[in-house]
Amino acid sequence: MADQDSRSGARYATPEILGFVERVHAAHDAGLQRAFDAPAREAMPAIQLAVSEGKLLSLLIRLVAARKVVEVGTLAGYSALRIARALPPGGKLWTLELERSHARVAEENLAVGGVADRVQVLVGPARDSLSGLAREAPFDVVFLDADKGGYADYARWAHANLRPGGLLIADNSYFFGQLMAEKADAARMRDFHEFVGRSFDSVCVPTPDGLVLGIR
């Protein structure tokens, strides 16, 4: 049935198809490849965006002509590089990272990638960094990709600090497949969805782990 098929986002994707479309639409230059490979090389968790998701992020930045962007969850700087490369001259990305060791690797990748001038890595719990960053509001885009237990609060911060027409983006919105589980952290993630659904014009795009987009 057509409506059954349309519910299964990944039905037609094969490794061959994904490799082909990544190469054609979203190919890495040396800087992006370096940042993408860094988690494996540096013994960090390899939980960066997939290649096509990274390119999607950069297109979304361009679509809203974003100049001021906040990212929560830097890791080795792959998504940050995708964002920063899409900014116009004078644009700025603040990217928030809990782990000092991750931030150090990211800073190196961002410098090699040629965007050190427009990115600031803020080290510490995102909650603390966000309260200080409010003074730079309004922002054009807020991208969430850190601790999933924080999403509900981060989305409220985004609602308060995005310009009208600004964009909220959130990775892992299926909560690694656990979104409907009877657990407190899953309930917290459902609260994130409920808040975004009533406060933004939103959708959860069926990427492998769900990508929420919401227009403020």
Smallest gap, in angstroms, from Cβ of residue 171 to Mg ion?
A: 4
Q: Which residues within the stretch 117-156 sit at the binding site for ligand SAH (CB under 6 A)?
A: 125-126, 145-147, 150
Smallest gap, in angstroms, from Cβ of residue 139 to ligand SAH?
A: 17
Q: How far apart are CA 89 and CA 187, in angstroms?
A: 41
Decide if residue 97 touches Mg ion (CB under 5 A).
no
Residue 161 vs residues 13, 29, 50, 136, 146: alpha-carbon distances, Å: 37, 33, 27, 9, 18
Reduced to 3 states (helix: H, G, I; strand: E, B; else coil), residue 213 is: strand
- For 2: left if phi > 0, alpha if psi spans -120 to 50, otherwise beta; the answer is alpha
Q: How far apart are CA 188 and CA 216, in angstroms?
A: 21
* Cβ nearer to ligand SAH, comparing 74 with 207: 74
Smallest gap, in angstroms, from Cβ of residue 89 to ligand SAH?
A: 24
Smallest gap, in angstroms, from Cβ of residue 1 to ligand SAH?
A: 35
Rounded (5°) CA angle 44-50-51: 115
Among 84, 102, 145, 151, binds Mg ion (CB under 5 A): 145
Q: Which residues within the stretch 14-73 sit at the binding site for ligand SAH (CB under 6 A)?
A: 47-49, 73
Interacting residue ranges for Mg ion, rule: CB under 5 A = 145, 171-172
